Amino acid sequence: MLAGAAVIGSCADDATTEAHTHHTDDTPALARSTTGVTRNRLRVPPVVGLGGLVLTAKPGTATIIPGKSTPVWMYNGSLPGPTIEAAQGGPAAVTFQNALAEPSITHWHGHHADPANDGHPHQVVAANGSYAYQLTVAQRAAMNWYHPHPHLRTGEQVYRGLAGAFILRDAVDTGSATNPLGLPAGAYELPILIRDASFDSAGALQFSNKSAGFLGNTPLVNGTYQVELPVDAGVYRFRLLNNCNARVLRLALNTGAPFLIIGNDGGLLDAAQSVTEITAAPGERFDLLVDCSALGKDSTLMLRDRAAGWDVLQFRGTGTAGVKCAIAKGSPLSTITPLTVGATVTTRRFSFDAMTAINGKSYDMNAVEFSVPFDTTERWVFVTNGNGPHPVHVHGCHFQVVSRTGGRGKVFEWERGWKDTVLLNDGETVEVNIRFTAAKGLYVMHCHQLAHEDSGMMANFAVV
């Protein structure tokens, strides 16, 4: 099941390798200080395969701020959870064990799971309970992620540390002799989970469940505080997730150099896009190539969040040669088959209202609000009456963004191809074409601002 076993998460130099294998209870390795900030080496979670995986959610402690012990909730004792990596195939048996003191269930965000294996709030298991999944990988390569999905408690459980990357492979992504995309791999491909958090003076996480959404006052990358990544002089593939509860990031490099965007929620784009800033809403993923080949030994490059004015992740040159990658702006990457609709298409309109409702109705776990025919393309229109941003997420499929009117007024480079989460800001109308081809049964759509989700901005629907 494990494609390219343990390729993610090892880095080139010895010191870094040691840091990567450390237990989350250990003090992170310290990097040299620049501009008065002592930086901690990026944590890289262990890589695990899918078949036979047991994921246990359990309280524990981690050293996030050096010298302080932070109570967190972790999958398999890792912050973030282990990176799951899977090739096409299955079904694979995966077990979720709930060692929290409250109900939980694990949802595989972006996975085309049938309803019994999706992690719907209905499937919640009590403390000490477990849930057995059978997960098949039949969709194109992408970075999905996994996180808790109990009704009313998702926000806090994610905030306390429960989230992990779930990377799917296929022949296009991995490449072959006849189709060599040549994407950076092994030490040069890393999951980058960015979230915000607030700490008290003892190092404990601070949280409040207000429906406007909790904004932490400091960024963490893979659970690492004031973080630095040693980089060889070459190209890196970063599998980036906005893992914040509520914060929208505007990511840019301090030099103004562009990112090459090669993929998003639903995998590789049709062609590589070049942008200097990316707006990333909670739940969205970005597959980025960052060229560090000009970084000499000890010179630095900073990934920043221009919305908060934060330094998020510093790259520091090792002086060692890295890998090259021939992909440039416009390079073809994958085939995206357009979802097209005719004049008689079924159009559904969803209004995201007042932080707690969709089309005026708060989440009713026992209702089925609408039914969608299997394998039929529909046009869904997302609008809002304020209280944005609303990252709109649909389970069980990917969709294609057709238009955005009002507000930012365009479809962005990173919204091409296949998406499962799309940002709806105040004043915006976003239209998507959507088709369910995975399975029939009960799914949910919801706002991925987790306080909105927990406050009822979620709806059940059935694929029939």
Q: Would you count residue 452 as binding ligand C2O (CB under 6 A)? A: no
Which residue in the set 150, 230, 267, 283 belongs to the binding site for ligand C2O (CB under 6 A)? 283
Stretch in the footprint of Cu ion (CB under 5 A) among 27-35, 95-103, 104-112, 295-303: 104-112
Quick note: the x/- pattern for Cu ion over 375-404, rule CB under 5 A, is: ---------------x----x---------
Quick note: the x/- pattern for ligand C2O over 79-108, rule CB under 6 A, is: ----------------------------x-
Binder of residue 449, out of Cu ion, ligand C2O, none (CB less than 5 to 8 A by kind): Cu ion
Unique residue bearing structure tokens 């990567």: 20
Q: Which single residue brings its beta carbon nearest to Cu ion?
A: 447
**How far does the chain reach from its first CA to its final CA, in angstroms?**
31
Contacts of 304 (CB under 8 A, 6+ apart): 251, 252, 253, 254, 310, 311, 312
Nearest C-alpha neighbor of 382 from the set 427, 413, 414 = 427
381-400 residues near ligand C2O, rule: CB under 6 A: 393, 395
- The tokens for 70 are 């932070």
Q: Would you count residue 419 as binding ligand C2O (CB under 6 A)? A: no
Closest contact distance (angstroms) between CB of 33 and ligand C2O is 37
Please say which residue, 39 or 120, places its beta carbon nearer to Cu ion.
120
Stretch in the footprint of ligand C2O (CB under 6 A) among 164-172, 182-190, 406-414, 440-448: 440-448
Binder of residue 147, out of ligand C2O, Cu ion, none (CB less than 5 to 8 A by kind): ligand C2O
266: exposed, middle or buried (C-beta count within 10 Å: 0-12, 13-18, 19+)?
Answer: buried
Is the bond preceding 148 in cis, omega lying within 30 degrees of 0?
A: no
In DSSP notation, 301-340 reads: EEEEETTTTEEEEEEEEEEEE-------TT-B----PPP-
Which residue in the set 111, 112, 147, 404 belongs to the binding site for ligand C2O (CB under 6 A)? 147
CA–CA gap between residue 4 and residue 12 (Å, rounded): 17
Binder of residue 390, out of ligand C2O, Cu ion, none (CB less than 5 to 8 A by kind): Cu ion
Q: 31 with 40: CB under 8 angstroms?
A: yes
Residues that bind ligand C2O (CB under 6 A): 107, 109, 147, 149, 283, 393, 395, 444, 446, 448
